[in-house]
Amino acid sequence: MTATDLNIKQFDFGENQYIKEEHPKKQIYLHHTAGNASGENVFRYWATTNERVATCVTISGKADVDGQIVQGFSSKYWGFHLGLKESTFQRFNLPYKSLDRISIGIEICNWGQLVNKGGQFINYVGRPVPANEVCTLDHTFKGYQFFHDYSDAQIESVRKLLLLWKDRYDIPLKYRDSIWDISKDALSGVPGVYTHNSVRTDKIDVYPHPKLIQMLKSL
């Protein structure tokens, strides 16, 4: 897998919005934005802040160019995409580790959890999501059964990125069932693919979408 296989759209993201330092990459974290469908708009929003909170890529959804990968900075650099808390490490008697430096983040444009109100699926800001864009899990995940669907095109773009970074950084892609909850491996810096749930108890991204799990297991 090479970068030319991915049709990545570059976004002019200011160098003051991320940390332009190179560190060996060992981990990849999957996120979703809990927001709109445009990967470019996500970078535009991040550019209005001075917090250097960003992932190097976003993946647009159906309301934009479905599956379009947008890149704001090179994966060899880093931003604060995890929001780590020292107390989480203390639960496992682990020293705090700056995982942002050694990891790469992917942001999927997606609203996340939904609530069924009278047959309408409502996101956390009170807006309806079309019924044909709802994923219904066969179990609840962190108290929710309905979620905004990750599109096939988005999942395929995630797959291609994972293969690209496996080749570039030698990051193992073996699937772990433990990635949907706090993970001692993730906090310890063990190489691999994780979700935001792996390092934060208060996050619901990404959720265990059946097609996403199927893709991760296929790698």
Sign of CA dihedral 89, 90, 94, 97: positive
pLDDT tens, position by position, 20-55 = 999 999 999 999 999 988 999 999 999 999 899 999
C-alpha 109/C-alpha 36 separation (Å) is 6
> Is residue 152 pLDDT above 70, yes or no?
yes
Number of helices (H) and strands (E), helices first, in the chain? 6, 11
Residue-level pLDDT at 209 = 98
> Is residue 5 pLDDT above 80, yes or no?
no
Contact 31, 108 (CB under 8 A): yes
C-alpha 195/C-alpha 57 separation (Å) is 15
Instruction: Write down all domains in the chain, each with its CATH number in brackets.
Output: 3-110+150-218 (3.40.80.10), 114-148 (no CATH)
Mean pLDDT across the chain: 96
Instruction: Give me the mean pLDDT over the 59-63 stretch.
Output: 95
Residue-level pLDDT at 7 = 86
Return the DSSP state at 78.
B
> Is residue 8 pLDDT above 80, yes or no?
yes
> Is residue 4 pLDDT above 80, yes or no?
no
∠ CA 185-188-192 to the nearest 5 degrees?
50
Residue-level pLDDT at 3 = 66
Q: Which residue has the tokens 């409502």?
A: 122
